[in-house]
Amino acid sequence: MADREVDLFVIGGGSGGVRAARIAAGYGARVILAEEYRVGGTCVIRGCVPKKLLVYASRFSHDFEEAAGFGWTVGEPSFDWATLIANKDKEIARLEAAYTANLDRAKVTIVKSRAVLDDAHTVRLLATGERVHAKHILVATGAAPSMGHGVAGIEHVISSNEAFHLTELPKRILIQGGGYIAVEFACIFAGLGSEVTLVYRGENILRGFDDEVRAHLRHEMERRGIKIICKRIVEAIEKVDHGLCVELSDHDDILVDRVMFATGRRPNIAGLGLETTGVRIDEKGAVAVDAFSRTSVPHIYAVGDVTDRLALTPIAIREGHAFADTVFGGKPTAVDHVNVPTAVFSEPEVGVVGLSEAQARERLPKVDVYATTFRSMRTAFLGGEARMLMKLVVDGMTDRVVGCHLVGPDAGELIQVIGIAVKMKATKADFDATVAVHPTIAEELVTLRTVTRSHVREAAE
């Protein structure tokens, strides 16, 4: 016999779970949400939010350097890691409290406990042993860093989780991986003054992004002093007198103070008791769901990173909201995963929406590319070398802008707005018809008059 009965039991208090719980409760459902760590999940506690605070901190080094060109005299800047981390922790605690208060206001019962499934309708709270009978269950347990295959000395390696709580800024750090997290942390540490080496197993960082973006960002990161080593992996890590000695696959040794792996994340499904329910797990180890986030068991749903569809916070939030609308609001809603704008908070930033040039060439008979690189007004004034990349990928048959790729200041802010135009199926002519805002960086997007190159698919291709 269960001790309590609810309409919805949400396992996981991250972006997806919190939104689903709040909206479902708003529809009148009796909701319990269980979170074993801290309310807010990866994004708020050890992901997007603290990361962005570190990104802000890391950019001051450039600002101080550039200030002199504008007439400022800045004394010798010094940076205190402990102050940054303490202030970051204070802000995260504030946000966690706000999330908790929002759930309380929505009359969601929060239980600070790990929750496991005893069967398809019964959830057990490990903290108290209480068993809850739930009409619906939402699995929103997120994902955790995957440290790859076990190399010798893996115990010396940190993930992004630990990077947020280091007691001091490493003088030298080696980061393995070429995805969002590796690139972002490489830029954060470099901006704060660390000597950074990034080791990536493939040809170039940010696999899956537009090739021109990858090349441009790599060049800019290298120009800022980050050492990028591709086509290598970390073979072993050994603790030595003055730090950690990292052996790469080409037998080169690199001496650093910290080693961080950002080699992907795996869905949190272990030990949840999902096997007692018959919920299908897909070949990637994620909970398999349909367009409405429903698992193979009709009253059990899953949203966010545990489903490994598109591991982005705003997507998890939408999936959680859509689930609540579907199940408790009588409005079946599927989340649209197409043309999702995204940003990499590297230095410089990357902003992307839609198809890369290569993807467009695979899918469309004719593709026109408009691309430019240029120095911003600020950079040119200061005699700097950093160049911005702007690129529009256009369907040559319909004139529709199917992709936009930016590398440079505020690319993340810009791509949010361009994402609306791309989502609305704006054409290149619409971009051209829009008057420039002068003087801005973004105006280049509406003044790209000349086709850089066109690809026409041959009949036999």
* Residues forming the active site: 438
- CA 4/CA 25 separation, integer angstroms: 17
Sequence-distant (≥ 6) Cβ neighbours of residue 446 within 8 angstroms: 431, 432, 434, 435, 436
Query: For ligand NDP, which is the closer residue by CB, 311 or 355?
Result: 311
Within residues 298-327, the interface with ligand NDP by CB under 6 A covers 311-312
Does 342 bind ligand NDP (CB under 6 A)? Our answer is yes
Least distance to ligand NDP from the beta carbon of 416, Å? 12
Which residue has 């499934």 as its token pair?
117
Within residues 402-441, the interface with ligand NDP by CB under 6 A covers none
CA-closest candidate to residue 348, choices 299, 397, 394, 384: 384
- CA 158/CA 155 separation, integer angstroms: 8
Query: For ligand NDP, which is the closer residue by CB, 179 or 273?
Result: 179
Least distance to ligand NDP from the beta carbon of 227, Å? 16
Chosen residue from 28, 69, 202, 225 binding ligand NDP by CB under 6 A: 202
Strand partners, 371: 391
- Helix, strand, or coil here: 259? strand
Least distance to ligand NDP from the beta carbon of 341, Å? 10
Between strands 453-456 and 342-344, the pairing is unpaired
Chosen residue from 50, 179, 348, 408 binding ligand NDP by CB under 6 A: 179
**Could you tell me which stretch among 129-137, 189-197, 339-347, 393-401 binds ligand NDP (CB under 6 A)?**
339-347
State which residue has the least CB distance to ligand NDP: 179
Tokens of 18: 């919190």
Sequence-distant (≥ 6) Cβ neighbours of residue 99 within 8 angstroms: 13, 18, 39, 40, 44
- CA 299/CA 68 separation, integer angstroms: 62
Phi, psi (rounded to 5 degrees) for 55? -60, -50
Query: For ligand NDP, which is the closer residue by CB, 3 or 162?
Result: 162
Within residues 157-176, the interface with ligand NDP by CB under 6 A covers 176
- CA 40/CA 306 separation, integer angstroms: 15
Q: Contact, 141 vs 306, CB < 8 A?
A: yes
Least distance to ligand NDP from the beta carbon of 332, Å? 26
Query: For ligand NDP, which is the closer residue by CB, 193 or 264?
Result: 264
Within residues 243-282, the interface with ligand NDP by CB under 6 A covers 262-265
Least distance to ligand NDP from the beta carbon of 263, Å? 4
Write the interaction track for ligand NDP spanning residues 141-160; mark x where CB under 6 A is met and - where it is not: -------xx-----------
CA-closest candidate to residue 320, choices 95, 286, 328, 37: 328
Chosen residue from 133, 156, 201, 455 binding ligand NDP by CB under 6 A: 201
Tokens of 338: 């197409």
Query: For ligand NDP, which is the closer residue by CB, 293 or 346?
Result: 346
Does 358 bind ligand NDP (CB under 6 A)? Our answer is no
Does 345 bind ligand NDP (CB under 6 A)? Our answer is yes
Least distance to ligand NDP from the beta carbon of 174, Å? 12
The CA-atom distances, in angstroms, between 172 and each of 198, 230, 248, 255 are 11, 18, 16, 8
Query: For ligand NDP, which is the closer residue by CB, 180 or 370?
Result: 180
Chosen residue from 344, 364, 404, 407 binding ligand NDP by CB under 6 A: 344
- CA 214/CA 217 separation, integer angstroms: 5
Exposed (0-12), middle (13-18) or buried (19+): which is 452, by Cβ within 10 Å?
Answer: middle
**Could you tell me which stretch among 252-260, 321-329, 336-344, 453-461 binds ligand NDP (CB under 6 A)?**
336-344
Q: Contact, 184 vs 155, CB < 8 A?
A: no
Which residue has 């890369």 as its token pair?
356
Least distance to ligand NDP from the beta carbon of 284, Å? 11
Does 181 bind ligand NDP (CB under 6 A)? Our answer is yes
- CA 412/CA 420 separation, integer angstroms: 13
**Could you tell me which stretch among 199-207, 326-334, 352-360, 414-422 binds ligand NDP (CB under 6 A)?**
199-207
Q: Contact, 126 vs 116, CB < 8 A?
A: yes
At 368, which helix (H) or strand (E)? strand 366-374
Least distance to ligand NDP from the beta carbon of 33, Å? 23
Query: For ligand NDP, which is the closer residue by CB, 262 or 426?
Result: 262
List interacting residues with ligand NDP (CB under 6 A).
148-149, 176-182, 184, 200-202, 207, 233, 262-265, 311-312, 342-345
